[in-house]
Amino acid sequence: MVTKYYKGYQSKEWWVTCYELEFYIDDWEDGLIIDNQLYPAKKDYFTCAKPGQTARMQFPYRCYFLNIATRDEKLKAALDALPTYAHNPDIPKIIELFKQNYKRSTSSTLSSQMERYGYVCQILGIILRTYPDAPPASPVTNVRRHGQALMD
pLDDT for 33 beyond 70: yes
CA distance 48 to 66: 10
Give the pairing of strands 14-15 and 31-34. Answer: unpaired
The answer to pTM > 0.75 is yes
pLDDT at 30: 93
Residues 6+ apart with CB under 8 A from 104: 112, 115, 116
pLDDT at 105: 64
Instruction: Answer with the residue of higher pLDDT: 105 or 144.
Output: 105
Asked if residues 50 and 15 have their Cβ atoms less than 8 Å apart, the reply is no
